[in-house]
Homo-oligomer: A and B are copies of this chain.
Amino acid sequence: MSDRTELDEIGEFGLIERITKAVELKQKDTVKGIGDDAAVIDRGDYYELISTDLLTENIHFDMSYTPLKHLGYKAISVNVSDICAMNGTATHVTVSLAISNRFSVEAVDELYAGILLACEKFNVDLIGGDTTSSLSGLTISVTAFGRVAKDKITYRNGAKDKDLICVSGDLGAAYIGLQLLEREKQIWKENPDVQPDLEGNDYVLERILKPEARIDIVELLEKEGIVPTSMMDISDGLGSEVLHLCKQSNCSARIYEDKLPIDATVSIQAKEFNMEPSTCAMNGGEDYELLFTVKQEDFHKVNAMPEVKIIGYMEDDSQGARLVFPQGEEVEIKAQGWKSF
């Protein structure tokens, strides 16, 4: 018998590292391959950005409570978000679908209505794709393309000591939305006559079902003349993403718990689920907000930006990433984001 190593022994990040090590880049216009939010190709006057995501049923979405139009919208939005995370502007997308024949033409129309709505909203052209049948669930593969000026591109590895750590919008809402949907699904499974009780939760539900790529933040940074020193989007949870920035920038970080931007409805709902709101913000994931660092000299500019909050700063000590509580207690940040395997 040959040795067998299970995928969950090395995890998604371990697998990506393994693949990255095996890859050799030869094309002279390849600026950046695997390892950031998007790959980077030199197009002479500017950089082209390429990012791709694969969404699979029952892993990334649950058809029992996900409207198809929202799902289509989200598939585009999360890919455009990756282009934003490089400080770029998305321009084109391709969309491939594997669909089982339990889908009707009308259902596929709904999915595309969401895809095209997002294309219009984010000003990207749908230029291609592949459609095929599937013997099991729905799979959606989106590749997004964008561009960024060479002096504006922002990687994960540029953060320096004393840089301010900023996030856009608020965090934890998508996670609470997901908990609500899962709770109502369980109730419905036990008693199909009970109607789901989702009233008054529009905000958190929209955050999980129909997240918005923050192209407005990228535009605002441009307008304010700020080029972040590092940036990524928050898909796996703030904690996990801060660790990525630290690792790739070779820094440590201090995040202040009382600075985390959390919507009031999230705080209330978190208590109902017996959770700390800051835990939802740190580990929830799927918020698709932007996490970025700026130089201290940009403090006044970012401090004045609407929907951007300074939550901490980078350090060059070896203490790793810490979450600092109001009383001064410090806790090491550990990744608790999505586990793919």
Contacts and interface: CB of A to CB of B under 8 A. Distances in A.
Contact of A98 (B8, B56, B128): B56
A31 to B, nearest CB: 9
A192 interface: no
Contacts of A101: 6-8, 341
Given A340-B132, A340-B133, A127 B30 contact: yes
A38 interface: yes
A233 to B, nearest CB: 14
Contact of A54 (B8, B41, B96): B96
Number of copies: 2
Nearest to A9: B105
Contacts of A45: 44
Interface string A192-210: 0000000000000000000
Interface string A103-121: 1111011001000100110
B34 A105 contact: no
A123 to B, nearest CB: 7
A248 B38 CA distance: 35
A137 interface: yes
A264 interface: no
B94 A143 contact: yes
A55 to B, nearest CB: 8
Interface in A121-165: 123-137, 139, 141, 143, 145
Interface stretch (A18-26, A172-180, A250-258): A18-26
A53 B104 contact: no
A32 B25 CA distance: 28
Interface in A1-40: 2-10, 12, 15-16, 18-19, 22-27, 29-30, 32-34, 38-39
A324 interface: no
Given A41-B127, A128-B38, A129-B34, A103 B7 contact: yes
Given A7-B99, A7-B103, A52-B130, 16 more contacts: A2-B106, A5-B106, A12-B132, A23-B125, A25-B125, A27-B124, A33-B126, A34-B129, A41-B92, A50-B128, A51-B128, A52-B143, A54-B130, A54-B141, A58-B135, A59-B98
30 contacts: A4-B104, A6-B101, A7-B103, A16-B131, A18-B109, A24-B116, A26-B123, A29-B91, A30-B127, A39-B92, A39-B94, A50-B127, A50-B128, A50-B143, A50-B145, A52-B129, A52-B143, A53-B130, A54-B97, A56-B132, A59-B132, A60-B132, A94-B143, A99-B341, A133-B340, A134-B139, A135-B137, A136-B137, A141-B141, A143-B143
